Structure 1
Amino acid sequence: MNEMTYEKLQWNELKEKLKGCCSSELGQQLVEQLQPSSQLKVVEERLRETSEARTLVDMDTHLPMAGVAAVHRTLSKLEKGMMLEPADLTGIADFLRGCRKIKQFMQEKSFYAPTLSSYSQSMTELPQVEKEIATIIANNQVASTASRQLGRIRKAMETTKGKIQERLQKFLRNPAYKEMIQEFFISQKDDHYTIPIKATYKHQIEGVIIEQSSKGSTVFIEPAVVAKLTNELSIQRAEEAVEEYQLLATLTGLVAEHLQAIKVNIELIGQYDFAFAKGKLSKQMEGNAPRVNEHGYCKLVDCKHPLLGSQAVPLNFEIGDSYRGLIITGPNAGGKTVVLKTIGLLTLATMAGLHISGTTETEISLFHQIFVDIGDNQSMENALSTFSSHMKNISDIMRVADHRTLLLFDEIGSGTEPNEGAALAIASLEEFYQMGCIVVATTHYGEIKRFSEQHDDFMNAAMQFKNETLEPTYQLLIGMSGESNALWIARKMELQDRVIAKAKRYMDEKEYDFAKVRSEKIRKPRFVKQESESVYEYAIGDKVKLLESGESGIIYQERNQFNNVVVFYEEEFIELNVKRIALEIPATELYPPSYDLQTLFTSYEERKMEHDLARGSKKALKKLQKESRDRKL
């Protein structure tokens, strides 16, 4: 996979969501290193771990991570030959204790999570190391009980400190020094016990000046009466440091002897935290483990985008069995790009061993490579336009794609002259198909849609819209073709109906009207002779019977050169040959001469809008402008 695929499909955002489910830095580091795999056995093993962790999470059991901290920095010091400090050793002891609890916890869950439980057999318990550290270290320092020698030294130190305090208190109570003392307390400065003396008397006190105040008005003097005791205390401190060093060196060596076992434990703890994070994420998304294969077949059943939460609309999608290419058409803002991202991200998630939000009928193929061309990748630095960037991306993909490649193209061929863009897009799709790739692409171009309809191994799909309001439902309908919203906008802008009808016919048939127009207006007869038989010339508003269904409709558009008319039937406009309908009641008998027949084909809301626009309503105009903007989004 390349970084563009990860970026466009929001893979790193999904990993951040997974990180938030981890309980330790160890698990987060594994999430950071997580990469999708195309190997079937690897993915099946990963999914099995996630499923077992999900089972334990659903049982409201939690991995006992208390006390398990990241000890990488401590081990790094050890590998460099440095001696461990008391705090380092305390961390090691806490980690080993946590490992012991997790091992016991997982062995008790072997029935529900046999795979995860089996990992605990590789975890080493080191109770002797725990015990030794607990004996020597207490409250992040070497305990006085760590050795007899250390206990003797510290006891002697306390005695010496007591004698120093006693002599200095006596010094403070001496009336001879009352005027010389700045403040009546004992201050410890760098292992020296001092008395604050006024600077003007510093030469009248026998002792050593240890420090002076910032303003120079006070000096801190160690009286000569305690000099001998201070030297004695310094010797005792040195003896204490030597004894502590020996004890810490012994513990450091003990930990170093089990360095490899501790490293293995670290990996296992991280793996357990990572597995439980996958289980927690699965529960958050109400996920399931999909079936997996290696032959390109994908079937998404009620699947949701993992980053959209409750806003996501379930996606039903299939490819790789009866067709290997899918062309999605329809207007903007209908959800086509979200479909591409959902397909891509769910595939990456599955290949990484994550559950996805969908039913157990969902099946995902594993791919060697996934490439996407989504969004505007134009570059000012490289002088690339939108179209150039798309072509460069497709060119780069074409060099490395193979039969185990998934391709996701958004608006393929866009950004240039439509005929050339569509032709290049179709040629590229054919090339990728012949290479054996699985291709899903979105487009506005009718030529690409027609190519898909004619190719046996391609299928059309469309994003569903509500017929009444043309609002998107974000549902993908495979086997259907979507329409652009250009005609809808034209109708809203009151372009004449006959012009819109012509445009629709030209879109479908590519047969243009080249007839010359005479200046005089010729009224057609109600009946004309054609091929030796009389054909009724249907007029707008005539009530007719549909011969196949026996139901009634209303003529919306008169007969064209192909002997077809457009009939308004069940809120839809359908084109039928005149031989497939029969006149029931002519419009002249149904409506008065001045009746506006167009009201038969428009809803009350549309008629009201037209009326309000005609009288210059600003509110109606703003509403129309808003609808037009919404359709563009």
Structure 2
Amino acid sequence: MIAERALKTLEFDKVRQQVAGFCTSSIGKSAIDELVPETDFDTVVALLEEMDEGLSILRVKGNVPMGGIFDVRPHAKRAQIGGMLSPMELMEIASTIRASRILRNFLEDIEAEETIQIPHFLERKEQMPILTALQHEINDCIDENGGVLDSASPALRTIRQSLRAEEAKVRQKLESLIRGSNAAKMLSDAIITIRNDRFVIPVKQEYRGHYGGIVHDQSSSGQTLFIEPDAVVQANNEVQRLKVKEQAEIERILLALSAKVEEVAHDLFVLVGLLGEIDVILAKGKYGQANKCTMPKMNKEGYTKLVRARHPLLPIDEAVPNTIEFGRDITAIVITGPNTGGKTVTLKTVGLCTMMAQSGLPVPALDGSELAVFEQIFADIGDEQSIEQSLSTFSSHMVNIVDILSKFDDRSLVLFDELGAGTDPQEGAALAISILDEVVGYGARVMATTHYPELKAYGYNRPSVVNASVEFDVETLSPTYRLLIGVPGRSNAFEISKRLGLGDHIINQAKSFTGTDRHEVESMIASLEQSRLQSEREADEAHELLEEAAELKAQLEERVRVYDEKKDNLEKKAKDKARRIVEEAKAEAEKIITELREMQKNASRIVKEHELIDAKKRLEEAAPKEENKVLKKAVAERERSQNLKVGDEVKVISYGQKGTILEKVGEHEWVVQIGILKMKLDESDLQYIKPEKEKPTRAMANVKNRNSHVKLELDLRGERYEDALLRTEKYLDDALLANYPRVSIIHGKGTGALRQGIQQYLKTHKRVKSFRYGEAGEGGFGVTVVELK
């Protein structure tokens, strides 16, 4: 169990508040308020897996139907002790049951689609009690606004019908009074109103005796009395009697429904608990989406690696990300440097991210982050001076540190802020070193910040400790908040003073007061900082190049995949067509042979010469013919590609781009110019492109048009689909050469398959401007009229 003091010190409650804002029900918000880090490894892993499932659902589906859920556990508990639930409470129970049914159907749909795996959600779905019958019973009696319906029982319907009839009688009598000849004079207003649940009329004070009856109220001025005239007293009494009877019947209905709720009270407790858990998981996922968080990998070895982690409570655009790694060979990080540099923020980032991960929350860091599951987390951060206990800042820190030293072990994360501060610098530094030795010696994971320069050497003398600092920009005189691990912090007092205008002679004299060793250490630290910055810049450039290469590789792989898929499809179609042609040829040949055999058997009949000639011709025609012009063209181009030469225009298959051959550099390699790029490519990756012929002029086209025999229409009726496409392709080429602006393709109505195929081809033709069905006089749906460009 993580100590409450550490949760408060690291402001974990503020993280919980942010997550609770993404809950859709009060159940989930209450559960988030009680959220604490878990210390069991398997439990933490399960919590993170649940959260990751929630993130997957949100990514795929965008949202999850969680509306209409109420915490109905108090209602169920009151029903268990025999209490009568109100209509609104019953309505909340029905709404919650309905919401659970919708959510269950939603999860079942995801399970059926099999697009994502959500075992934890499906396990909870299976545990949800099905209470649809109770929902229907409540909805049959209670409306959405919490009112009891007339249809709740036959008795209630009868009572309300009588009640409405009696109220109508009372209104009718009162309306006759307010429409009387003297009503305008004696009434303050010609209206019927209600006082004390009875119908009354407003009568002026001076005419109170005219109507008789009972005075139920008067205006604030006393000039108007609200009187129930004698003429309606009995009718009003009947109305009241029916209302009492109505209320009794309503109570009977509510008690009956409450008894139904009591029967399934335990199931309602289970259902609400499961819905609350799902709401919490989804809230964690939504928080992760909104704050660009990721799920870290967890370990038991105390190893922490946060990749470009941000402080969870700082705005995304303001927080400076840092990469922090320790916990294996290095078990402690000591951050030195001046105030306001971000040392404390770094400590809190590590502590909060660890707590968040152990609570099943994603952390504000990049993919590849890894965190340990600690049994205890301790934090001594901030000024906790206690006036009541008369303790100084140093004393209050020591009280906390003494408590930490009495409880920590090798499964603990310990965070010290300004260790040893608030006392004599020499003694404080000595205490800080001793405390660090104690904690590091026991194998705990430690991060500490300090002002003391003596601790800069601490990391060099201990193999499991590393120095770190927060970068300071001397040019702008401000911290950059970037953590530099392996580089101790250095004093920037001389540089800052010089930038602010302090004289060089004063600065040089001040430097003479510092020891030679100190000056050498400062120079070493400055050199380390420069080396670190240079390596980081080079690493960033390498990372960008790697990302570009990965993106290009993905694009190339996708293009190869599409190419292979198209190739496989074309091969399959070609094989299918060849098999069909062969089968047709065999069938025709068998038919002809059968006929010849019949002629042979019938020896008495003389076989005429023309019959033999006809049979021979049919056999020749039955033989498969190479009629795939596209295939011929592809083969010819492929053969041509083996005889490439400089200047040829080619298509680079792997890139899908056109280029020009510049030179030959190997037996099968060529240098190709693609746009502004020159690339060395293998001959197998090149496809020869035949040069386009010069387009004929209009005059040439007119001459050809006069001498050509191209018709204005193409009749494809009775043609097979493949043959029809080939004829259409050739016909459009001829029509374009003949300079026809419009042609007609006759495909007939039939099943519509040929029509659809022709129109699909027209959509892809570059020289087809538009096409439409023929008009009534042009052939209707059996003809497609094509506009050429």
TM-score range, shorter chain: 0.7 to 0.9
How many angstroms does 1:100 deviate by?
A: 0.1
| 2:436 paired with 1:425 | no
Specify the alignment match of 1:318 in structure 2: 325
Specify the alignment match of 1:106 in structure 2: 107
Conserved 8 A contact 2:470-2:483: yes
How many angstroms does 1:451 deviate by?
A: 2.8
How many angstroms does 1:102 deviate by?
A: 0.4
Residue pairs, 1:586-625, within 5 angstroms: none
| 2:19 paired with 1:18 | yes
| 2:162 paired with 1:156 | yes
Bigger drift between 479-488 and 150-159 goes to: 479-488
Give the direction of change, closer, same or farther, for the CA distance of 1:354–1:571 in structure 2 (3 Å limit): closer
Q: Distance in 2 between matches of 1:6 and 1:446?
A: 30
Residue pairs, 1:175-574, within 5 angstroms: 175=181, 179-308=185-314, 309-466=316-473, 471-489=478-496, 491=498, 493-494=502-503, 495-497=506-508, 499-505=510-516, 507=518
| 2:93 paired with 1:86 | no
| 2:3 paired with 1:2 | yes
| Letter matched to residue 161 of structure 1 | E
Q: Deviations over 1:539-593 (max 9, x none)?
A: xxxxxxxxxxxxxxxxxxxxxxxxxx99x99999xxxxxxxxxxxxxxxxxxxxx
Specify the alignment match of 1:38 in structure 2: 39
**Alignment length, in residue pairs?**
517
**Unpaired segments ≥5 residues, structure 2:** 531-789
How many angstroms does 1:499 deviate by?
A: 4.2
How many angstroms does 1:81 deviate by?
A: 3.3
Task: Using CA pairs under 8 Å that are at least 6 residues apart, name the structure with larger relative contact order, 1 or 2.
Answer: 1
| Letter matched to residue 507 of structure 1 | R
Q: Distance in 1 between matches of 2:320 and 2:515?
A: 31
| 2:70 paired with 1:69 | yes
| Letter matched to residue 137 of structure 1 | I
How many angstroms does 1:324 deviate by?
A: 1.7
Q: Deviations over 1:135-177 (max 9, x none)?
A: 1122421211222222221111222222222222333344477
Secondary structure (helix, strand or coil) at the match of 1:400 reads: coil
Q: Report which of the two structures shows the higher radius of gyration computed on alpha carbons.
A: 2
Give the direction of change, closer, same or farther, for the CA distance of 1:331–1:162 in structure 2 (3 Å limit): closer
Q: Distance in 1 between matches of 2:234 and 2:292?
A: 75
Give the direction of change, closer, same or farther, for the CA distance of 1:386–1:178 in structure 2 (3 Å limit): closer
Conserved 8 A contact 1:291-1:360: no
Give the direction of change, closer, same or farther, for the CA distance of 1:343–1:98 in structure 2 (3 Å limit): same
Q: Distance in 1 between matches of 2:198 and 2:142?
A: 27
Give the direction of change, closer, same or farther, for the CA distance of 1:217–1:314 in structure 2 (3 Å limit): closer
Secondary structure (helix, strand or coil) at the match of 1:316 reads: strand
Conserved 8 A contact 1:491-1:497: no
| 2:124 paired with 1:119 | yes
How many angstroms does 1:482 deviate by?
A: 1.7
Q: Distance in 1 between matches of 2:479 and 2:21?
A: 33
Give the direction of change, closer, same or farther, for the CA distance of 1:103–1:496 in structure 2 (3 Å limit): closer
Give the direction of change, closer, same or farther, for the CA distance of 1:332–1:182 in structure 2 (3 Å limit): closer
Give the direction of change, closer, same or farther, for the CA distance of 1:229–1:469 in structure 2 (3 Å limit): closer
Give the direction of change, closer, same or farther, for the CA distance of 1:235–1:487 in structure 2 (3 Å limit): same
Q: Distance in 1 between matches of 2:190 and 2:453?
A: 97
Q: Distance in 1 between matches of 2:419 and 2:447?
A: 10
Secondary structure (helix, strand or coil) at the match of 1:194 reads: strand
Give the direction of change, closer, same or farther, for the CA distance of 1:326–1:89 in structure 2 (3 Å limit): same
Specify the alignment match of 1:168 in structure 2: 174
- TM-score in terms of structure 2 length: 0.62
Secondary structure (helix, strand or coil) at the match of 2:317 reads: helix
Conserved 8 A contact 1:136-1:146: yes
Give the direction of change, closer, same or farther, for the CA distance of 1:490–1:127 in structure 2 (3 Å limit): closer
How many angstroms does 1:509 deviate by?
A: 8.4
How many angstroms does 1:333 deviate by?
A: 2.8
Specify the alignment match of 1:561 in structure 2: none
Specify the alignment match of 2:768 in structure 1: none
Equivalent in 119, 132, 141 of residue 137 of structure 2: 132
Q: Distance in 2 between matches of 1:361 and 1:178?
A: 86
Q: Deviations over 1:354-392 (max 9, x none)?
A: 111223322211112211122221122221222112212
Give the direction of change, closer, same or farther, for the CA distance of 1:571–1:241 in structure 2 (3 Å limit): closer
Give the direction of change, closer, same or farther, for the CA distance of 1:426–1:207 in structure 2 (3 Å limit): same
Equivalent in 145, 149, 160 of residue 143 of structure 1: 149
Give the direction of change, closer, same or farther, for the CA distance of 1:502–1:132 in structure 2 (3 Å limit): same
| Letter matched to residue 514 of structure 2 | A
Bigger drift between 149-158 and 80-89 goes to: 80-89
Specify the alignment match of 1:602 in structure 2: none
Bigger drift between 11-20 and 457-466 goes to: 457-466
Q: Distance in 2 between matches of 1:195 and 1:331?
A: 83
Secondary structure (helix, strand or coil) at the match of 1:310 reads: coil
Specify the alignment match of 2:59 in structure 1: 58
Q: Distance in 1 between matches of 2:15 and 2:529?
A: 44
Q: Distance in 2 between matches of 1:25 and 1:96?
A: 16
Specify the alignment match of 1:97 in structure 2: 98
Q: Flag the structure with higher helix content.
A: 2
Q: Distance in 2 between matches of 1:305 and 1:456?
A: 29
Secondary structure (helix, strand or coil) at the match of 1:317 reads: strand
Q: Distance in 2 between matches of 1:197 and 1:473?
A: 82
Specify the alignment match of 1:551 in structure 2: none
How many angstroms does 1:69 deviate by?
A: 3.0
| Letter matched to residue 438 of structure 1 | R
